[in-house]
Homo-oligomer: A and B are copies of this chain.
Amino acid sequence: MKRNTRVSTAVIRRLPRYYRQLSELQRKGVIRISSSALGKSMGLTASQIRQDLFCFGGFGQQGYGYKVDSLKEQIGEILGINRGHTIVVLGAGNLGRALIENFKFSNNGFQLLAAFDVQERTVGTQIAGVPVYHADTLEEFLKENPVSVGLLTVPKSAAQTMGERLVAAGVHGIWNFTNCEIAFPGEDVVVESVHFSDSLLALNYMISQREDGQEQEDGKDKT
């Protein structure tokens, strides 16, 4: 596949949304979709959609729109869905457990191999069929099992240390849910953080703006 290798972060961030939207359309039995209809369903313009997808070598046929299943498949390939990536969860507390039980790792191209924790009551058990091992055995496990990504749901205080242990053992991707910044200067590792607070603060901003608009409206009514 012809690809433009210089792809902006914004486009990369939109690709998963395309993938999600196309999966939804596929589920609904939609066969073909125009760029304007796809755009509308995602809050983007048709020209933005065409530009985004052009970055990855085209697709789509002038006047015919996109075939939902093949576009989904192509975007999935770009995203690395079929590369056989593997993941382990570090920290099997409430959040780790919620992700293990409910998150569809396989839909996102990952096989979930194991979880690690230090709690006696958890170690040695299984969560939704996933074995929980003691964190002390992490390096041993990583030596025998190629792991692409470590998912961090450990307490903040352990975040950096556990991340460093993953990196030292040759893991090149970290999915960070600890709500704190972790960094590995000079290391060849990709860190993707899910910052709940960034999301809630953005929502706070938006509802505050709405309230201000409301006040202005109310003010108008009075004059």
Give the contacting residue for A192; candidates B13, B109, B202; CB below 8 A.
B202
Copies of this chain, tallied across the complex: 2
Interface of A is mostly: helix
Given contacts A94-B98, A98-B93, A203-B149, is CB(A108)–CB(B175) below 8 Å?
A: no
- Within 8 Å CB of A19, what residues of B? 201
- CB–CB B94/A101 < 8 A: yes
Contact code string A45-88 (vs B, CB < 8 Å = 1, else 0): 00000000000000000000000000000000011110101000
Given contacts A16-B201, A20-B195, is CB(A173)–CB(B207) below 8 Å?
A: yes
Give the contacting residue for A172; candidates B99, B205, B210; CB below 8 A.
B210
CB<8 Å pairs between A and B, sample of 24: A12-B205, A12-B206, A16-B197, A17-B198, A19-B201, A78-B205, A79-B201, A79-B208, A80-B205, A80-B207, A83-B208, A93-B98, A94-B97, A94-B101, A95-B99, A98-B98, A103-B196, A108-B197, A108-B200, A109-B204, A173-B203, A175-B203, A188-B210, A192-B203
